[in-house]
């Protein structure tokens, strides 16, 4: 009896405080369509996550997908203000990392080489492969201009 109580008390915190935003299921080889001219059957891989995908960024060269996941209210009409920022690896079909994100105060700027989160009057550069913090400055970054593209948004 003591063993059962000990095991259940050990496992309950994992259930209660476990991190969401994880990959729920992967279905491979689902028939998605048919090209009538060349008679080719199109197949897809379907990925299911715990929360709704709010925004995404696909790095086709590095074969990663950055997902911003948000839950919805019980009636399904409104998005929650809290969610997760996740990095998904396409070839291995694994979730590389997942961080909590507050959508009221956080903005994400991203390119294939860098990822900057702006929150609470500071900007944090994250490593896209590990999700670890590379550097932090105590200023808001609203936009980033690179040699080829402009990323971000201007907010007052």
CATH for 49: 2.40.10.480
Report yes or no on 32 lying in a domain: yes
Domain residues for 127? Answer: 20-152
Report yes or no on 7 lying in a domain: no
Report yes or no on 1 lying in a domain: no
- Domains held by the chain: number: 1
pLDDT along the chain (156 residues), means of 10: 43 40 61 76 76 86 88 84 89 88 87 83 88 88 60 50
Report yes or no on 105 lying in a domain: yes
Report yes or no on 78 lying in a domain: yes
Element at 68 (helix H, strand E): strand 64-72
Measured at the CA of 123, the angle between CA 121 and CA 128, to 5 degrees, comes to: 150
Element at 121 (helix H, strand E): none
Report yes or no on 94 lying in a domain: yes
Nearest to 143 by CA among 135, 151, 132: 151
**Residue 24 CB neighbours (<10 A):** 10
Check residue 17 and give its pLDDT: 38
Dist. CA 25–CA 17, nearest whole Å: 21
* Alpha helices by DSSP H, the chain: 2-17
Q: To 10 degrees, the CA torsion angle through 132, 135, 138, 140?
A: -70
Nearest to 61 by CA among 131, 116, 113: 113
Report yes or no on 53 lying in a domain: yes
Note the pTM of the prediction, 2 decimals: 0.66
Report yes or no on 96 lying in a domain: yes
């Amino acid at each position: 009896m003591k063993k059962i109580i000990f095991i259940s008390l050990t496992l309950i915190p994992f259930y209660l405080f476990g991190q969401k935003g994880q990959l729920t299921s992967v279905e491979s080889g689902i028939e998605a369509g048919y090209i009538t001219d060349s008679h080719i059957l199109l197949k897809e891989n379907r990925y299911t996550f715990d929360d709704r995908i709010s925004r995404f960024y696909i790095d086709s060269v590095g074969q990663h997908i950055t997902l911003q996941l948000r839950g919805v209210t019980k009636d399904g009409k409104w998005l929650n203000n809290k969610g997760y920022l996740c990095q998904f690896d396409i070839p291995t079909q694994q979730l590389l990392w997942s961080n909590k994100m507050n959508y009221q105060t956080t903005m994400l700027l991203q390119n294939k080489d860098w990822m900057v989160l702006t929150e609470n009057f500071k900007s944090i550069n994250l490593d896209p492969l590990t999700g670890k913090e590379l550097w932090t400055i105590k200023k808001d970054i609203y936009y980033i201009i690179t040699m080829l593209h402009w990323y971000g948004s201007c907010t007052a």
